[in-house]
Amino acid sequence: MKKILIRVVAAFGCLTSITTMSGCATVQPWEKQNLAKPEMTFEGDKLDTGYTEHIYSSKEAASGGSGVGGGGCGCN
Amino acid sequence: MKPASSIKSTKVIGAALTAAAMFLPSAKPAFADAAPERGIVAFKYLSYRDSQPDVDRININAYSVRAMTPIAGKWAIDVTGVLDSVTGASPHYYSFFDTVSGASKLKADTRKALDLSVTRYFPTGSLTAGTSYSEESDYISRSISLQGSVASPSKNTTVTLGGSVTTDTITPNNIELVDRKKIYSALLGVTQVMSKNDIVQVNLSRSVGEGYYTDPYRPIDNRPRHRNYTTVMTKWNHYFESTEGASRLAYRYYADTFGIRSHTFSAEYVQPLPNDFKLMPSVRLYSQTAADFYVPVDPLYAPEPPEVNFDGYYTLDQRLSAFGAVTLGLKVSKKFADEWLVDVRYDHCMQRDHWAISGKGDSGLAPFNMDFIQVGLSKEF
Amino acid sequence: MIIRNRKIIRGFLLTMMLCVGASSMALAVEPGDKAPGFELPGQQGNVTLAEAAGSVVYVDFWASWCGPCRQSFPWMNQLQEKYRASGLKIIAVNVDAKSEDAKKFLAQNPAGFTVAFDPKGVTPSSYGVKGMPTSFLVGRDGKVIFRHLGFNAADKDKIENDIKAALEASK
């Protein structure tokens, strides 16, 4: 368990530092035309995501990852 | 044999389709510090069916409605309600020897769920409080959550922190039992603008659960009362100036104390077309290892159950076996005048034991397919 | 393994701090500062801040893809109409990389005030704009009175009151 956690933290650290390092090439507020498009956000179609994640979490062992909370599941 | 067992197995799936990851306040996009400009009312219908060769299918019809409105430019209220009903027989291999009695106790195979969240927006971030409730004849789930986001002055970096508590009450229709399950979850996320065409998100989440995890409708099932899991989710959206389309890639690593590890990779591409059409093909690849206590099918006994050591934990649930899955999907949407939007999505998912890349699959399991169609209608105002 | 991970995390935190530090160092025009001048192409000839000297100028940075900006247009039209006689001049600086996008937007959302085009983003940069839209109120003395980030219904009255006060104070 501890090993997993370490691996996870390491992966997270790596990814975020890569992310932030290159993030230093700052994108200005007036350059966010493309980022402002709905398909570039991470939220998407909420009802669609709801159904889809629901189906997978009840047919597969894994679940979660994109948020916290939500009801529990009698699935597995 | 079929009718009695099929109704009960149906319940398993019904329970399986409880709220789960349904209405999580997901880590927000780059502009988490601004209240939405418009409200939205949306309706979505889902038709789901799954199948195994020569086995009856299960059908699920679900209806969901969502209403979200900004208030005074600083608040947003978001409400979602879902109603779903399950019909048909379970396709599951193991349902053949379901010997439990008590099918007559079954109430309607429907689930009702309600989710409510309130968000307060600040100049440099936002705070969301949410609650959700889900109910079916044998399962009630209640959850509360709190999530906060803070953006850097450049608004190019957003850090999200969230937590939730979920309490489930399980009252199986087939046995005299009332039990609970309590799950605490926490999430840490970073969203980073990489360039004017790239945005990346990394979410680390951890969940600690205790309570009743056993499947009451499976006669041979005994699972630990603890289940903790950790996930790392990475997402990358890229905008192509040449096509004016966007690719959306995501990878999730999952590990839990049942001994299951899984990898999920998904790719979507959104292409805007003339006349306000949008086309979104998608592919999803999934693979998991088996739970430590999963007992594989024994070809010598099949379709009778394999030999099980009843001293420890054991399950024959194929969802805890090693397998892989591939989904191909296509979504089409069209925007009409006055911000009306219509969308249709179709997904075909195939689960196969030999697609388990991280472990040996259970070759005694039959292939399993899922088809689902979603039809949505929404309007912004 | 653990040591290496700690290093990674420390490195990550450090870079993050540097990033945040660097980005917040970008100079922003504050109330009391002299408003940076500009000369930009407009819908009819060039637009300069200098030629508006003596007026109270509401400089608004907007983009065609920004939702709140769209909402602010009818309001700015009213505002210009209402306070034109008192000496208010609105200059809306468009920051779209492609000015055609802005022109399409203007066809749908007509502007009853001055519009200027800055596809290179030189002006928002000199004003240290932090988000879309951002507006600056420049007094008759050429100094910035206030800066406002974002736009929603709740902001309207506050901005209008500040404009009214500025118009009256410097009569």
pLDDT confidence of residue A44: 84
The domain that holds C66 is classified in CATH as: 3.40.30.10
Give whole-number Cα distances, C162 to A71, B261, C169, in Å: 48, 59, 10
pLDDT confidence of residue A12: 55
Provide residues of C within 8 Å CB-CB of chain B.
16, 19-20, 23-24, 26, 67-68, 71, 130-131, 149-150, 152-155
pLDDT confidence of residue B218: 82
Return the HEC string of A1-60.
CHHHHHHHHHHHHHHHHHHHHHHCCCCCHHHCCCCCCHHHCCCCCHHHHHHHHHHHHHHC
Q: What is the pLDDT of residues B262-304, one digit of tens each?
A: 999 999 999 999 999 999 999 999 999 999 999 988 878 777 7
Whole-number Å distance between alpha carbons of B86 and B75? 37
Both tokens of residue B222? 């005994």
Range of the domain at B74: 2-380
Burial label for B54, CB within 10 Å (0-12, 13-18, 19+), is: exposed
According to DSSP, residue C141 is labeled: T
Considering the domain boundaries, does residue C91 fall inside one? yes
The domain that holds B196 is classified in CATH as: 2.40.160.40
How do B157-170 and B139-151 pair as beta strands? antiparallel
Q: Which of A3-12, C19-28, C54-63, C81-90 has the lowest mean pLDDT?
A: C19-28
Both tokens of residue A47? 């009802």
Considering the domain boundaries, does residue C41 fall inside one? yes
Which residues of B are less than 8 Å from C71 in CB distance?
37
pLDDT confidence of residue C170: 62
What length does chain B have?
Answer: 381
Strand partners, B250: B235, B266
Q: Is there a contact between B345 and A48 if contact means CB atoms under 8 Å apart?
A: yes
* pTM for this model (two decimals): 0.84
pLDDT confidence of residue B36: 85
Mean pLDDT of A36-44: 89
pLDDT confidence of residue A25: 61
pLDDT confidence of residue B214: 93
- Quote the number of domains for chain C: 1
Whole-number Å distance between alpha carbons of C5 and B52? 46
Query: For testing the chain B interface, which of C152, C157, C158 should be mutated: the one with the most B CBs within 10 Å?
Result: C152
ipTM: 0.87
Which parts of chain B fold into alpha helices (H)? 2-16
B157: contact with C, CB 8 A cutoff: yes
Both tokens of residue B12? 């398993």
Whole-number Å distance between alpha carbons of C63 and A32? 9
Phi-psi region of B244 (alpha: psi -120 to 50; beta: other; left: phi over 0): left
pLDDT confidence of residue A6: 59
pLDDT confidence of residue C153: 78
Considering the domain boundaries, does residue C23 fall inside one? no
pLDDT confidence of residue C76: 96
How do B340-352 and B368-380 pair as beta strands? antiparallel
pLDDT at A19 over 90: no
Considering the domain boundaries, does residue C7 fall inside one? no
Residue pair C144/C136 in contact by the 8 Å Cβ criterion: yes
Whole-number Å distance between alpha carbons of C167 and C87? 7
Range of the domain at C151: 29-169
Q: Is there a contact between C5 and A10 if contact means CB atoms under 8 Å apart?
A: yes
Please list the pLDDT of chain B residue by residue as tens digits (381 residues): 333 333 334 343 333 333 333 333 343 333 445 788 889 999 999 999 988 887 656 889 999 999 999 998 889 999 999 999 987 655 444 433 333 322 322 334 789 999 999 999 988 899 999 999 999 888 999 999 999 999 998 889 999 999 999 999 999 888 888 999 999 999 999 999 999 999 999 999 999 999 999 988 888 899 999 999 999 999 999 999 999 999 999 999 999 999 999 999 999 999 999 999 999 999 999 999 999 999 988 878 777 778 888 889 999 888 999 999 999 999 999 999 999 999 999 999 999 988 987 667 777 778 889 999 999 999 998
Helix (H) or strand (E) holding B346: strand B340-352
Mean pLDDT of C55-67: 93
Which residues of C are less than 8 Å from A23 in CB distance?
19
Give whole-number Cα distances, C89 to B181, B272, C116, in Å: 64, 39, 13
Cβ contacts below 8 Å, chain A against chain B, sum to 300
* Nearest residue in A to B261, CA atom: A62
pLDDT at C6 over 50: yes
pLDDT confidence of residue C154: 77
Considering the domain boundaries, does residue C55 fall inside one? yes
Residue pair C145/C137 in contact by the 8 Å Cβ criterion: yes
Q: Is there a contact between C131 and B157 if contact means CB atoms under 8 Å apart?
A: no
pLDDT at C11 over 80: no
Q: Is there a contact between C12 and A17 if contact means CB atoms under 8 Å apart?
A: yes
Mean pLDDT of C85-91: 94
Q: In terms of pLDDT, which residue wins out, B105 or A76?
A: A76
Cα atoms found within 13 Å of the Cα of residue B12, Cβ hemisphere only? 27
DSSP helix/strand/coil, C26: coil
pLDDT confidence of residue A73: 41
Average pLDDT, chain C: 85
Q: Is there a contact between B62 and A9 if contact means CB atoms under 8 Å apart?
A: no
Q: What is the pLDDT of residues C112-137, one digit of tens each?
A: 999 999 999 999 999 999 888 999 99
Q: Which residue has the tokens 């909370």?
A: A69
Sign of the CA dihedral with B41 first, then B377, B347, and B113 last: positive
Sign of the CA dihedral with C90 first, then C96, C99, and C101 last: negative
Considering the domain boundaries, does residue C2 fall inside one? no
